[in-house]
Chain A
Amino acid sequence: MPAISLIVGPQHPALHEAERFLFKVEGETVIDVIPRIGYMHRGIEKLMETKTFIEGLYLAERICGICNVAHTLCFAEAVEQAADVEVPPRAKYLRVIAHELNRLHSHLLLLGVAAELMGFETLFMLFWRDRELVMSLFEELTGNRVISAYVRVGGVTRDISPALVDKMKDKLPKLYKRIERYKKVLSEDPTFTTRTMDVGYISGSKLLALGAVGPTIRGSGVKIDLRYTDPYEAYDEIPFKVITYKEGDSWARYMVRVDECLELINIILYALDHLPQGPICTKVPRTIEGKGEGRVEAPRGEVLHHTIWRGGVTPWRHRVRTPTYANIPGVCEMFKGYHVADIPVILGSIDPCFACTDRTTVMLLDAKSGTRKTMTIGEIKKKYWRR
């Protein structure tokens, strides 16, 4: 049977973001995938070179709305390393609390969307109702429901009140019990398991070779978690388990997220109990000279911000790498050999966030000889810039 090319996208392949995938289909079976990313390119890296670190922080926050704390934390870590500033210990713990609450709401959002993709709308409503509880706690801590503006370069913006500590200690164990119940539903209910079990299988060694990060690679049994392998902030003082599943299919990737929700509630409760006293912010010099690198485990995987300052008020270069960009070669391998109807489930299982994926990266691969070419800016102008 000859292969047919089937175009999915750019409108909403699984979640509500624009990206195009070209599937080569034989009957019902996918045999090859060609992804086309770059619809959401916003030129953030170039714009960052015109901003001071106060303004740049709020630009970094808007790279991804859902994991905004991870991006601000990563930006702040990079600039603090460049400026050689040490953050006070109380600020480190408060950053951990905001970061984990953000991860909790992101995971609950994805699990709800995944249930909706499979037509399990009751579970979608229940997940999103419980997410509302997290959002209200997050609003009281940071001042806003989604865009938090909580992390600053040198510390955090506001302190946690004792009343809010009591409220969190009261409400989070209740949420823990509910998520335990949803875990039972997701692992036993045939509506979910028949759609996800043995769908989109990929081995851990193959994902490692393709450079996947985060819960995607942890679902295939590889123990990679930046909080554990390269601890930042206060994670070296907090005990926690790294969740891995050996199955390697879509079901395992969803279950990693459910188990992480349970584990991170324990992290928040530990951090609230062991909150040190002291200041929450330090003063950072206006002009910075040096290089800095921030690596943070975002809800979707590793985020990297690399920044170079040459003694001015603005950075000379700022580079961002986001987790979905690293996961796209992996997800293209997952599609192969499965049916067209499984496409949304498999794509949803890596928790794609295409808005933060699209950076300025020019890669040209000569398909015949297999060599990689690099283009100078003059060649790009000559070829693509038409007045």
Chain B
Amino acid sequence: MGKKIPSLIAEVFSYLFKKPATHKYPFEKPVIAEGFRGKPVFLWNRCVECGVCEDVCPTFAIKLKWTDGRSVPWYDVSRCCFCYECIYNCPTNAIVSSTEFELSSAKKSAYEGLPKVPIAPYVLAGLEKIRYMKIDYSKCVECELCAAVCPTHAITMVIKDGRVIPSYDVDLCVFCHKCVEICSSEAISPLVKFPEKVEKIPEKIPESPLEKAGLLRYRTIQIDRNICTGCTLCARVCPTEAITMKDIGGRLLPIYNINKCLFCGQCYEACPVDAIKFLPDLPPPLRRRKSKK
């Protein structure tokens, strides 16, 4: 025991004259951090009854129940794990956070149920419930904003008849109106009545408004294989690997994938022999069928 003992004694004595590190909890309220995840609070006047919170809840604490003409979320605190996944996913911000943490109760009935049956926001506004989103394809400018903003992937972009258009799936839609708000050309409008014929994309697609106005979007790249020297510069500059090089019959030739292409034009600038052309129309298999006149 020849080793030196470091003096913890000084620290021990210094604590005789300090306040204790513990709180006297029920009498003295603790300081709660700003971002503490407490009991989630439901704001009924914002709820559009979409059911996303029920879908994402990992512990089945939220269930939509039919109450006085509305299917509103019933929230069970005793099942909740306070992960806040419902708050992050709610499309209308109807669920907000709180720092309430004193949740113990002697009765289980105190954990579940609603304080008062709320009135729906669309009833207050004198409207009926939205059942369908109508997309007017003659107005759509193919900006792909609606597909990016959709929380449930109900709107996805597909290629049909030479246009890149949104396809709409009613089964996945939650009627959060984000697409209606973001659409710059006002092509999407909510419908109160459910249509007779439901289809993801209509059979006949009208002409694009951009083409009517004489504006053209570049839709494809044509690579002239007779001029191409196989230098691989275009494949190297391509940011999305839309152009890849392949050995065909002893020659190294570029292969073009239209689904990955951004039309950034870097391959056009890089090509030393001008073998790359930008064309306004889609390649023949994806081109629109011309109507007989």
Contact = CB atoms under 8 A, between A and B. Distances in A.
Interface residues of B, number: 24
Interface in A117-151: 122-123, 126, 129, 132, 136, 139-144, 147, 149
A176 B37 CA distance: 28
B35 A157 contact: no
B252 interface: no
Main secondary structure of the interface of B (DSSP, over half): loop
Contacts of A269: none
B37 A189 contact: no
B8 A185 contact: yes
**Interface range for A:** 20 to 34
B21 A129 contact: yes
Interface in B47-84: 56, 58-59, 81-84
Interface in B132-181: 153
A365 interface: no
A6 interface: no
Contact of B35 (A129, A158, A184, A185): A158
A290 B81 CA distance: 30
Nearest to A122: B8
Interface string A276-311: 000000000110000000000000000000000000
A185 B6 contact: yes
A187 B2 CA distance: 14
B33 interface: yes
A149 B57 CA distance: 13
B257 to A, nearest CB: 16
Contacts of B3: 188-190, 193
Nearest to A139: B33
Nearest to B38: A143
Contacts, number: 64
B34 interface: yes
Contacts of A132: 21
B122 interface: no
A152 to B, nearest CB: 8
A286 to B, nearest CB: 6
A54 B34 contact: no
Nearest to A285: B153
Nearest to A120: B8
B5 to A, nearest CB: 6
Interface string B2-44: 0111101001100000000100000000000111110000000
A140 B58 contact: no
Nearest to B152: A286
A132 B20 CA distance: 14
A123 B5 CA distance: 13
Contacts of A152: 88
B203 to A, nearest CB: 27
Interface of B: 1, 3-6, 8, 11-12, 21, 33-37, 56, 58-59, 81-85, 88, 153
Given A140-B35, A193-B3, 16 more contacts: A54-B56, A54-B85, A58-B58, A58-B59, A122-B12, A126-B8, A132-B21, A143-B33, A149-B84, A152-B88, A184-B6, A185-B8, A188-B3, A189-B6, A190-B1, A190-B5
Interface of A: 51, 54-55, 57-59, 122-123, 126, 129, 132, 136, 139-144, 147, 149, 152, 157-158, 161, 181, 184-185, 188-190, 193, 285-286
User: Which 10 A-B residue pairs are closest in the complex by CB-CB distance?
Assistant: A143-B37, A55-B58, A140-B33, A58-B58, A149-B83, A139-B33, A143-B35, A185-B6, A54-B56, A58-B83
5 contacts: A57-B58, A143-B37, A149-B82, A157-B88, A184-B6
